[in-house]
Structure 1
Amino acid sequence: MDANVAVAAAGEAMCWICKENKADSGEHKTKRSDLLAVLGTPTQDAPFYFNDLNRRNQPVKSLDAKILKMPVRICASCNNARTQLHDRAWEHMSDRLRCRRLAVGRWVRCNRVFGSSVKRQMLDVHLYFLKLFGCMLAEAKANGYDLPIDLDAFSQAIMSGRPHAEVHLQFGRCDGTVGRSNLHYWKTDPGESVLAGWLYELDTIAVSVLYVQAGKFEHRRDLWHPHSRTSSKRFQIADFRYSKRDKSDVAGPNTVA
């Protein structure tokens, strides 16, 4: 998509989370602390290079560069005070997972990641990825995509501090990529069930963020959700090392953001 279209459409928009304040704060596509931990600090003389579907090898000379942030913004209050604990929970989990040798298929207990307040901290991780997902949905809608996914439900979850019933996470191994995939969606039949998702990749680890319509798909034990009876206290390591797979085995979804 053309990010400039989204920026123009959202230039005077209100924050999609609180719907009260002007959207004037940019959220990083990949968390700033993650970029710093994995890539270090870029400089004028030694920049990073950013690739997307439109352009390759775009120089990045600062971790606060505009290109690293979502085109659709939220307000400073939501981006800082309201979601600060969510950011910190993922920052801690990211650090712990990157320090471990994760074996595909193995189960990891959440209390091995968070020593205390496990339920609260894992919920905060869920809410952190809700924020990113919501920004991607807002961006898609700003660019004219009519996705059958209610953005208000994402707002309500963050505002209330409760999980989104239809958003699940998978934690897994990555193949060295750093960045965020586009948002993809699948429809089983016109007007029927919808599955959407995207991948957050951070060198050796990755998180798949999935929207799964309630009642439309059979529950999978490898999907983590705060309210899941079978997996809320642990998660299974998935394999996201796609560069090692036969591309013919991967179904092609619709790309929207």
Structure 2
Amino acid sequence: MAVLGKASQDEPFYFHDLNRRNKPVSSLDAKILKSPIRICAFCNNARTQPHDRAWEYMSDRLRSRRLAVGRWVRCNRIFGSHVRRRMVDVHLYFLKLFGCMLAEAKANGYDLPIDLDAFSKAIMSGRPHAEVHLQFGRCDGTIGRSNLHCWKTDPGESVLAGWLYELDTIAVSVMYVQAGRFEHRRDIWHPHSRTSSKRFQIADFRYSNRSDAELEARKR
């Protein structure tokens, strides 16, 4: 709401995805904006409310800054106190969204090689998921999220999955990186990472600034 404001019949927002474009939305409580997979009311409210509030606070702070691509941002510059706990809450906020997307995909018949129980256990225990990482960056001003993509790589069929969350000028790439199968990158953030747990680097998700040749190369 801090970004969109209030929708109404006279001044609706417009929603689009792969199947439909510019569908009028007159309320932020509209069914089309909600995941068809619901978690219990207690988990969605009381249990995960600190996670929602941590991301709300962090996203407000990030959107109020002129973030330069490549810049390192220290977590204690966002949360003045209880930094570790609040950053874990941010991690768990995206873990909840990721889990709902996985549950929806599996309900629709997709056989994804990712254990959903591990997501539930992390949220229930308040501890980070070892294989879910975040990358924070700048984007073009879009509000929404991409579809979930999942790959198996050769050799050994290692699993990699991810999706992109966009909120006005900032974006978060949410990635499932199978433990022990991929080398850690310093620009990918995780609460338990020795090299980047206390800070994160701003990535560039502003695809409108990239040349057609570069975008085509990234698709290959």
Q: Shorter chain as normaliser: what TM range?
A: over 0.9
Q: What's 2:219 paired with? A: 251
What's 2:191 paired with? 226
Alignment of 1:131-170 (within 5 A): 131-170=96-135
**1:213 match:** 178
Letter in 1 for 2:15: F
Structure 1: unaligned runs, 5 residues or longer? 1-35, 253-257
Which aligned pairs between 1:26-45 and structure 2 lie closer than 5 A? 36-45=1-10
Structure 2 distance, partners of 1:51, 1:196, is 23
Question: Is 1:123 paired with 2:88?
Answer: yes
Aligned partners of 2:82, 2:145: CA distance in 1, in Å? Answer: 28
Q: Specify the code of the residue in structure 1 equivalent to 2:9.
A: Q
SS in structure 2 at match of 1:153: helix
Query: How much has 1:223 moved relative to structure 2?
Result: 0.5
- 2:79 corresponds to which letter in structure 1? F
- The amino acid across from 1:234 in the alignment is R
The CA deviation at 1:234 is 0.2
2:74, 2:13 → 1: CA distance?
35
Q: 2:77 aligned with 1:112, yes or no? A: yes
Q: CA deviation at 1:190?
A: 7.5
Shift of residue 71, structure 1, vs aligned partner: 1.3
| Amino acid in structure 1 at the alignment position of 2:105 | A
Give the AA of the match of 2:219: A
What secondary structure does 2:87 align onto? helix
1:99-140 CA distance string (max 9 Å, x none): 001000010000000000000000000000000000000000
* 2:12 pairs with 1:47: yes
2:45 aligned partner:
80
CA distance in 1, matches of 2:79, 2:219: 35
Residue 167 of structure 2 aligns to which amino acid in structure 1? L
Aligned pairs for 1:4-43 within 5 A? 36-43=1-8
Q: Deviations over 1:19-56 (max 9, x none)?
A: xxxxxxxxxxxxxxxxx111211111110000000000
The residue number in structure 2 matching 1:32 is none
Report deviation, 1:203.
1.2
Give 1:193's match in structure 2, choosing from 151, 155, 158: 158
| Amino acid across the alignment from 1:108 | V
Alignment-derived partner of residue 171 in structure 1: 136
Distance 1:68 1:190 in 2: 39
Aligned to 1:95: 60
Q: Partners in 2 of 1:250 and 1:70 — Cα distance?
A: 29
**How far apart in 2 are the matches of 1:104 and 1:55?**
33
Gap regions ≥5 residues in structure 2: none
Secondary structure in 2 matching 1:38 = coil
Distance 2:111 2:37 in 1: 16
Give the secondary structure class of the aligned counterpart of 1:195.
strand
Change (3 A) 1:190 1:220: closer
Structure 1 segments (4+ residues) deviating >4 Å? none
| Cα separation, 2, equivalents of 1:82 and 1:158 | 8
Q: 1-side partners of 2:217 and 2:141: how far apart?
A: 21
1:244 deviation in Å? 2.2
Q: Which residue of the partner structure matches residue 65 of structure 1?
A: 30
Deviation at 1:187, TM superposition (A): 1.6
**Offset, 1:249:** 2.1
What is the distance in 1 between the residues matched to 2:135 and 2:8?
A: 34
